Structures are given as structure tokens and as C-alpha cells.
Structure 1
Amino acid sequence: MSAAPLKGLKVLDLSRVLAGPWCTQLLADLGADVIKIERPGAGDDTRHWGPPWHEHEGTRVAAYFLAANRGKKSVALDFSSKNGAAVVRKMAAEADVLVENYKVGGLAKYGLDAASLREANPKLIYASVTGFGQDGPYAARAGYDYIVQAMGGMMSLTGLPDEMENGGPLRVGVAIADIFTGMYTTSAILASLHEREKTGEGAHIDMALFDTQLAVLANQASNALVSGHDPGRQGNSHPNIVPYQPFMAADQPLIIAVGNDGQFARLAKLCGHPEWVSDERFATNAARVANREAIVAKVGAVIADAPAAHWMEKLLEAGIPAGPINSVSQALGDPQARHRGALQQRGEGALGEVPMVGSPIRLDGARADARLAPPALGEHTDEVLARYCDADTLAALKASGVTS
């Protein structure tokens, strides 16, 4: 059985690509009824961001789209037309939540802006997701994750130092600004729903990828503010903890993550060098950070003498955090991933059986997994619009190309 605490919540999803869809997918996982409005004939941009492709009975959709759109019903509706916008306004009048990620002011010409829709439905929680927010000198700019990772400091921290071979800034391997913005937007929506219970009023939520990227710099932002110096790129080592990085065993690398002095004492003993603990250069984490190269070289020399499997067994037995560096396929096939049911197959939709990673949320032991697989474009158009249009109106919308 799936946990569905948001069952009955009506969410209108006007967002595309990743940050907004990630938010609405999470709401769907928690049981909300999410209606995704897409352009007839084209749909969400990410439907076309392939290869790789998922294909079923002549329908092809990019794997990227599948990652962020489970649990939703797709309605193909052109709201740039007068009649299409009128239908969306009808839907918004009954919705609890609307999520959009158009440029600032971009929906006002269709009467789909926050002020217009909240005037008609004061309980509506309207979440706007943009690159730089609803105000400020960059508000009019389009915002993409890659640009925001660069502008927001993340790339300055990711990669090897300039002086090393292949040194230079790198983006994180997933769209971290988008994903975190989606998560923060979900949190803001849930908080607004709680407040609405007390006041009866909705809210206009203003979420920006740039703001979120700054927030999730976390300890690195704090390091810069406290020290007055920019943190540098350190590759796979940690700026504040040592040893906390990959070490090359005799056959392959593994991560050893020593988080406190007790763990370091056990590592020193395991390495056959208990005297490291009494060496003033290594006795505390602060001392190890100051003498990083020396202690990393010592640990590395020992680890190189035996295979990774040997060290994994010994490290875990000693209570020292450690793990392999898995490929994506190895991670998805890991025994822990299989036990937790991370990898799922959904086959009830028009796209056939779709492989996906399920929700990580468990509530009282029940999984918070959306019931529906990602939808084909317009898969639910007739079903959903029948709630808002009579048969003649729906036929006219189809005839004019407003819907399909």
C-alpha cells in the first residue's frame, strides 16, 4: 500500500523541464491529483531530450521526461488561445495548487497570472518557479540549471584545482539547482497549505533557482562568510574533514569517510599505526586538516597494499564509514536498493511498462509512490476536460486545434 497524505489535493501543473515538474511529481507521490497542461503536438520540452528513448507501440518519449513526471495526468491544451486560457482558468478556480515556471509576467497576457487567478480563487496556492525570482536586476532573464550552477558558486567548488591536470570548474552531474528548487517549492507549498488551514487564504510562492543554489552551498557558503576567503576546488577531498576521500586499493578505489576523532583512532589501529593518534599533527580533525597531505599519504600507502574488498570488510567491521564508487547501474542494482524497492516498473499507462526510480519517502512503513506511470502527451485530455467542458465545447476545442 502506498502512503497518500495529500489525497484529494488538486494540483494544476503548468511547468516544464525539471524544477517545476520535480515539485509536482513529489506532490503526486504524496497522493495529490496532478494535472499537467502541455502544448498540443509538442508537450513538455523534455519529451524530446533524447536519446535514450522509451518506445511503446509507436510512441517515443525521452528517458529524461520519465524521470520527473510520474503520477500525473497529461492534458494537451493550448492556453495561448482565448478558449484554451478560459479552460485553464476554470481549472484553476477549482485547484488547490498551481505550479508554473514561465518568465516573470509571461502568463499575465492570458489571465493566468497569480493576481488574476487568486482573485477568482483566494484559496489558491500559486507557485512561480523562475531562474532569478519575481524581482531584482536579473528577474527578466531565463534561468537554466547550468547557468545557475555557474553563477551561484557551485561550479567554482566542483572539479580539480586549476594547477592540476584536467583542473577547472565543472558542473554537478545532475541538475542540482533544478532539483533542489523543486524540493524547496514542495516544502513551501506544504507550509502554505498548513497556513491556509488557519487563514483560509492561499499564497503566491516566489522560488528562484539562483536563490536555491546559494542556499545549498551550505557549509561552503558559511566557510566563505566566516573566513573571508573563497573555498577552492579540491576534487574529491573534503574542505573540513580529513581523511574523507577516495583511496586507491590494490585493485580499485574506495571511499573512506572519517567523520570524527574516534573513527580516526580506529582507522589508525586498522592500518597498523596506532601511534598516529598520539602524533600532534593528526590527533584532532583540525590538525589533520592542517596536515592533510601527510596523513592522506600515510593512509593511502597502507590501503594500496590490499584489494578493496579486503578493506571494505575490515573498515565496516571497525565501524568506519566506507563504500565503493559505483556506476549508476551498479547503484541501482545494489542489494540495498533492491531491498528498499528503489527500482520500479509501471505499466498501467499509454507508454506501457516504464522503468523508474521510485519515491524515497516512507510514512509509517508505507511507500509514498505515485500510482500512475508518466503519461503520454494528452493521454488524459478527454477524461479531465470532460469535468470542465460539455461535449460540444470539447469538440469545438479539438476542431480548432486548441486541444488534441
Structure 2
Amino acid sequence: MTGPLSGVRVIDLTAALAGPYGTMILADLGADIIKVEPPGGEITRRVGPYPPSVDGQQTLGGYFQSINRGKRSIVLDLKSSHGHAELLDLVRTADVVVENFGPGVVERLNISYEELRRVNPKLVYGSLTGFGAAWSGESPYIDWPAMDITIQAMAGALSITGTEDGKPVKIGPGIGDIFPGTMLTIGVLAALWEMKKTGEGQQIDVSMFDAMLSLCERMVYQYSYTGQVPKPIGNTHPILTPFDVLEVKDGWIAIAATTQLRWEALCHIMEKPELITDPRFRNEGRRVDHRTEIRHILDEWTRDMTRAELREKLGGKVPFGPVNDIRDIFDDPHAWARKMLVEIENPGSDQRAIVAGQPIKFSRSRATVGARAPQLDEHGDALRAEIRSATEVATK
């Protein structure tokens, strides 16, 4: 692997989406991610979609490929004494351990931070749970299981997402998993930086609830300042306008001309300069009070034009974007130029996999999707050989 984290070894004990997404970021940045899987493999190996198989060969599903690319796989039965001993051997060679087990599991498996730090005092140990660990603030929900949609609900995201009739709508991507996983990655990197300075490791605790509440920061200060409970308002913004999604001749577009300069530019593009001096729209605050009239004006102007025509008029002049589906994104030169659509090998199939790329770019270090996801226990023999070699060196 290449990238700024080249030389960092991470023992990945995570499963499903939140944890593997976080370790995927570390893999793309160059870390050596050792994915420890139970006999039979991690649960998402059994989740499709699957590509067409060649001669009935085993293939990797899209879910697993997307967030486990660039990792190495080893099977360990952590419930057995042998598997537990092998994990400790791996931990001795590692910089980081990341886990997202349910409440009480690491204690039952005897792989808690307190246990693993005994064999590696410099260890950075990242934990991700629904409601956090007792040592960092004991939640009444500490023993509750958590999933993306339940966390979106409890942390407030669903209360402000949806149509103006008040019906909550789940945010499309699994943001209740992905954002906490990203926050855990930030915590791991910060702890690694401190470890390099002090020689001491530590545990990082990220609660999915906490991460999502931090993502919903706007509703926190709104309620604190005004006492008003924010509600779903569709595609508009509570304190900015125009900020909306509009239906056009062949689909939908988004416009966000919220500052005075952007508003004036939009008025000139619409050939309606009189709106600039209209008392109803003379500043940001007045425009919010008259958002319905502005929406009507924009609807009248856009509804008989296509997305391409509006792109020609608005693109690069005011914040504008077509509402793209994934076909549009695959046809968009930006996604390919920025390497945000990346082809990787698909073992057992003639069809190559395409996954979302790495958005963090570096001027010197190369950070990118390194390789496909591993087959189950694909690197088990090699990793055991590495452990034996490291042990021999350490005992000489």
C-alpha cells in the first residue's frame, strides 16, 4: 500500500457498515488493514448484489467489495483459546485495533482495551457502539442495539428530514453508520499522533448517537436560541432562501442563491433586475419572509426549460446543480477525473467492480483505492508467517 499511513498496521475487528467504512478510509490512506473474520466470514459477505459468475466460481458481493477494498483477511475463532492467542500475536505487531461489537462482547471474548494493552501498551484502540461506553459517560441506553435508521431517529435527524407535511424520511445513504465510522477514523488518527509524541496508546469511544447529534448541530443551536422545535421543511432552508429543489422540463435542479451577490446575479440571469430593488426581497431576512413568492417566481422561470438549458444559464454563476441519479454521475466527467469512480478486480467474474473512490487528495502521498476486497482468509497463511517472523526477531 502507498499513502500517508503506509507502515501503520490496523487490526480490524469490525463488521457491517460503520466500522468497516472507517477502516476502509484508513486502508485508502495506506494503512495495512488486517480484517479478522469469524469462521464462515463477516456477515456482509452474504449480502449482494453479486456479479455474474464464471463457471460457478465464488464472487464478492458489492456491499463487501465497496467498504472492504484494500484489506487483508484472516479467519480467527475468537471464542477459542487458539484463536484468542493468535489475535494477541497480531496485536503485538499492530498500531491500532478497531471494533464495533455489541454491548459486553469484548469483555466476554476477553479482547477489551484493558486486556489488549497488556501485550501492546502503545496500542490505539477504537470502539464504536450505539450509545457509548460507561467510562466516557454512561447512557441509559448503553445496552441497546443500534442500527442506522434507529440512530437517525433517536439523534434527531429524522425529525428535520422530510416533507413539509411533517412525515419523517430517512436520509438516503446510511449516514447513521457512515458518519460515526468517519468520526472514529478521525479519533484513531488523533490518538496515533499523540502516541507518536508520548509513546502511550489509549482508547477512543465513539457513540453512533453522539456522532449523529453532532451532525445535526443546526437544530441544537436553533432550539437553544429560539425555543422553537425545528421540523421537516422539505428541500428548503429555515434561515436562507432561495435554497430549494425545482422541477424542470426533464427532471429536477437545485439552486442556492442565498447571499446578496448571488441573489442579484440570479435576478440578472432571469432578466428580472427589478426584483433586486423590490422591498420584499431587498435583503436576506426579507427574502426568508417571502420565500413562497420567490419559489413561485423561480418555478415560473424554470419549469419550461431543461436541465441542460439551465446549466448553461446558471452553471458557474450561482450555486446550481442538476439532481443526478447514478446514471448521470457515471456519465459525468468530474467523477472520473477526480477518481471518485474506481474499477477494481472482481474475482470469479468477468465483470469488473466499480466502487466509490477516496475523496481525500494529497499533493505528495498517494491515497487511493488500493485493491479489491479479500477473499475469506485469503491472507491467513501469509499473516501467520509474518507473525512467526516478527516473534523470532523479538526473541533474539
- d(CA) in 1 for partners of 2:308, 2:108: 62
Note the alpha carbon deviations across 1:145-168, whole angstroms, 9 max, x for none: 111001111111111123xxxx61
Question: Could you tell me whether the CA contact under 8 Å between 1:349 and 1:374 is conserved in 2?
Answer: no
Deviation of 1:217 (Å): 0.6
Question: Could you tell me whether the CA contact under 8 Å between 1:55 and 1:61 is conserved in 2?
Answer: no
Tell me what 2:255 maps to.
Answer: 256
Tell me what 1:355 maps to.
Answer: 354
- d(CA) in 2 for partners of 1:55, 1:193: 41
Question: Could you tell me whether the CA contact under 8 Å between 2:4 and 2:366 is conserved in 1?
Answer: no
Deviation of 1:365 (Å): 6.1
Deviation of 1:339 (Å): 1.5
Question: Could you tell me whether the CA contact under 8 Å between 1:54 and 1:62 is conserved in 2?
Answer: no
Question: Could you tell me whether the CA contact under 8 Å between 2:346 and 2:353 is conserved in 1?
Answer: no
Question: Where does the alignment leave 5 or more consecutive residues of structure 2 unmatched?
Answer: 390-396
Note the alpha carbon deviations across 1:201-256, whole angstroms, 9 max, x for none: 00100011000000001323322222211111111112221111122233332111
User: In structure 2, what residue type is equivalent to 1:47?
Assistant: R
Question: Could you tell me whether the CA contact under 8 Å between 1:251 and 1:308 is conserved in 2?
Answer: yes
Tell me what 1:142 maps to.
Answer: 145
Deviation of 1:62 (Å): 2.5
Match of residue 155, structure 2, among 149, 152, 159? 152
Q: Give the 3 Å change call, closer, same or farther, for CA 124–350 of structure 1 in structure 2.
A: farther
What is the percentage of aligned positions where both structures have the same residue? Answer: 36
Question: Could you tell me whether the CA contact under 8 Å between 2:57 and 2:348 is conserved in 1?
Answer: no
Question: Could you tell me whether the CA contact under 8 Å between 1:332 and 1:342 is conserved in 2?
Answer: no
- d(CA) in 2 for partners of 1:308, 1:381: 52
Tell me what 1:112 maps to.
Answer: 111
Deviation of 1:64 (Å): 1.2
Deviation of 1:349 (Å): 6.2
Tell me what 2:240 maps to.
Answer: 241
Superposition pairs of residues 124-273 of structure 1, within 5 angstroms:
124-135=123-134, 136-162=139-165, 168-273=167-272
Tell me what 2:339 maps to.
Answer: 341
Deviation of 1:276 (Å): 1.2
- d(CA) in 2 for partners of 1:351, 1:91: 32
SS at match of 2:67: coil
RMSD: 2.0
Question: Could you tell me whether the CA contact under 8 Å between 1:260 and 1:285 is conserved in 2?
Answer: yes
Note the alpha carbon deviations across 1:81-108, whole angstroms, 9 max, x for none: 1111111011112210000011233112
- d(CA) in 1 for partners of 2:303, 2:108: 65
Q: Give the 3 Å change call, closer, same or farther, for CA 20–351 of structure 1 in structure 2.
A: farther
Deviation of 1:374 (Å): 0.7
Deviation of 1:367 (Å): 4.3
Question: Could you tell me whether the CA contact under 8 Å between 1:47 and 1:62 is conserved in 2?
Answer: yes
- d(CA) in 1 for partners of 2:201, 2:331: 43
Tell me what 2:326 maps to.
Answer: 328
Tell me what 2:394 maps to.
Answer: none
TM (norm. structure 2) is 0.91
Tell me what 2:46 maps to.
Answer: 48
Q: Does 1:13 pair with 2:12?
A: yes
- d(CA) in 2 for partners of 1:237, 1:134: 37
Question: Could you tell me whether the CA contact under 8 Å between 1:249 and 1:305 is conserved in 2?
Answer: yes
- d(CA) in 2 for partners of 1:39, 1:369: 28
Superposition pairs of residues 365-404 of structure 1, within 5 angstroms:
367-388=366-387
Tell me what 2:29 maps to.
Answer: 30
Deviation of 1:350 (Å): 7.3
User: In structure 2, what residue type is equivalent to 1:356?
Assistant: V
Note the alpha carbon deviations across 1:267-318, whole angstroms, 9 max, x for none: 112222211111222111211111111111112112224333222211126x
Size of the aligned set, in residue pairs, is: 383
Q: Give the 3 Å change call, closer, same or farther, for CA 131–351 of structure 1 in structure 2.
A: farther
Question: Where does the alignment leave 5 or more consecutive residues of structure 1 unmatched?
Answer: 391-404
TM (norm. structure 1) is 0.90
Question: Could you tell me whether the CA contact under 8 Å between 1:155 and 1:170 is conserved in 2?
Answer: yes
User: In structure 1, what residue type is equivalent to 2:252?
Assistant: P
Note the alpha carbon deviations across 1:160-208, whole angstroms, 9 max, x for none: 123xxxx611111111021111111111111111111221100100011
Deviation of 1:337 (Å): 0.9
More displaced 10-residue stretch of structure 1: 226-235 or 206-215: 226-235
SS at match of 2:125: strand
